[in-house]
Amino acid sequence: MSRGLNKVMIIGNLGRDPEIRYTSGGKPVTTFSVATSRSWVTSDGDRREATEWFNVVAWGNLAEICNQYLRKASRVYVDGHLQTRNWSDNDGHKHYRTELVANEMLILDPRPGRVSDNSEERYFDDEPDLPF
């Protein structure tokens, strides 16, 4: 059996503040949206730009970190996989939502009061800290 690949890496800006909630079992889940932009020049020489929005979901420790440190307009790197959920509303209409389920998140904004450079990046993932 062949294996597939579902890996997504984006860099963009949050479109809204993160929202945290908890499952019935008490597990934290945070959602937020990230806008990514790309630009190109058409064959006529016109410059074009397109923005793509991603719905991001973080679970567990990463969910709490995202909720604590991220705000609207924060610049972030998110690594994860795509997952599509579906549900039916009260009228029986089926809905679909594709989300980027985050495994890792890196804050690209400089720390307040400091000059921006690569040493100011803060990296978070959903793996627990290991003592070795």
pLDDT tens for each residue of 14-35: 999 999 999 999 999 999 999 9
Residue span of the structural domain in which 87 resides: 8-38+48-125
Question: Considering its fold, how many domains does the chain have in total?
Answer: 1
Whether residue 132 lies inside any domain: the answer is no
Residue 11 is predicted with a pLDDT of 98
pLDDT tens-digit series, residues 33-74? 999 999 999 999 999 999 999 999 999 999 999 999 999 999
CATH number assigned to the domain comprising residue 96:
2.40.50.140
The percent of residues above 70 in pLDDT, for the chain, comes to: 84
Residue 123 is predicted with a pLDDT of 57
Q: How many CB atoms lie within 10 A of CB 78?
A: 24
Q: How many CB atoms lie within 10 A of CB 18?
A: 21
